[in-house]
Chains A and B, each alone.
Chain A
Amino acid sequence: MKKIGSQTIQLENKVYILSSASIVGPKESEGPLAKHFDLCLDDEFWGEKTWEKAESKIIKECVNMVVAKSGLASQDIDLCFAGDLLNQCISSCFGLRSLNIPFIGVFGACSTFIEAISLGSVFIAGNAAKNVVCATSSHFCSAEKQFRYPLELGNQRPPTAQWTVTGSGSVVLSTSCDNSPYVTYVTPGKIVDMGIKDANNMGAAMAMSAVDTIITHFKDTGRTPDFYDLILTGDLGYIGKEIVIENCKKEGYDLSNNYNDCGVLIFDKDKQDTHSGGSGCACIATVFSGYIYKLLKEKEIKKVLLVATGALTNATTSAQGESIPGIAHAISVEFE
Chain B
Amino acid sequence: MENKITPQEYEEYVEKKSPNSPILKNCFNAFWVGGLICTIGQFILEYCKYINLDTQISYTVVSVVLIFLSAFLTALNIFNKIGKFAGAGSLVPITGFANSIVSPAMEYKSEGYVLGVGAKMFTVAGPVLVYGISTSVIVGIIYSFF
**A residues with CB within 8 A of B:** 49-52, 145, 149-160, 192, 194-196, 201, 204, 208, 211-212, 215-216, 239, 242-243, 251, 323
Q: List 18 A-B contacts (CB under 8 A).
A: A151-B80, A151-B103, A152-B80, A152-B103, A152-B106, A152-B107, A154-B74, A155-B83, A156-B84, A158-B21, A160-B18, A160-B19, A194-B7, A194-B10, A196-B10, A201-B18, A204-B14, A251-B1
CB distance from A54 to the nearest CB of B (A): 11
For chain B, residues 98 to 113, give those with C-beta under 8 angstroms from any C-beta of chain A: 99-100, 102-104, 106-108, 110
Binding site for A on B (CB under 8 A): 1, 3, 5, 7-8, 10-11, 13-14, 17-21, 26, 74-75, 77, 79-84, 86-87, 90-91, 96, 99-100, 102-104, 106-108, 110, 124
Residues of A within 8 A of B87 (CB): 155-156
Q: A149 — which chain B residues lie within 8 A by C-beta?
A: 103, 124
Distance between A225 CB and nearest chain B CB, rounded to angstroms: 15
Cα distance A149–B123 in the bound complex, in angstroms: 9
Q: A152-B102, A154-B90 are in contact. Are A215 and B18 (CB under 8 A)?
A: no
Partner of B77, one of A152, A192, A251: A152
* Chain B residues whose CB sits within 8 angstroms of the CB of A154 once the complex forms: 74, 79-84, 86, 90-91, 96, 99, 103
Contacts of A211 in B (CB 8 A): 1
Identify the interface centre among B7, B79, B90, B107: most chain A CB within 10 Å of its CB. B107
Contacts of A155 in B (CB 8 A): 80, 83-84, 87, 91
In the bound assembly, the distance between CA atoms of A149 and B87 in angstroms comes to 15
Interchain nearest-CB distance for A157 vs B (Å) = 8
- Of chain B, the residue at the smallest CB distance from A159 is B19
Please, which residues of chain A bring their CB within 8 A of the CB of B83?
153-156
Given contacts A208-B10, A239-B14, contact A50 B110 (CB under 8 A): yes
Contact indicator B84/A49 (Cβ below 8 Å): no
Candidates A52, A152, A153, A201; contact of B14 at CB < 8 Å: A201
CB of B21 within 8 A of CB of A159, answer yes
Q: What 6 pairs across the A-B complex have the smallest Cβ distances?
A: A154-B83, A195-B7, A150-B107, A152-B103, A150-B103, A204-B14
Contacts of B19 in A (CB 8 A): 159-160
Give the CA-CA distance A160 to B90 in the complex, in Å. Answer: 22
Complex CA gap A310/B18 in Å reads: 19
Task: List chain A residues, Cβ under 8 A from B84.
Answer: 154-157
Rounded to whole Å, the gap between the CB of B95 and the closest CB of chain A is 8
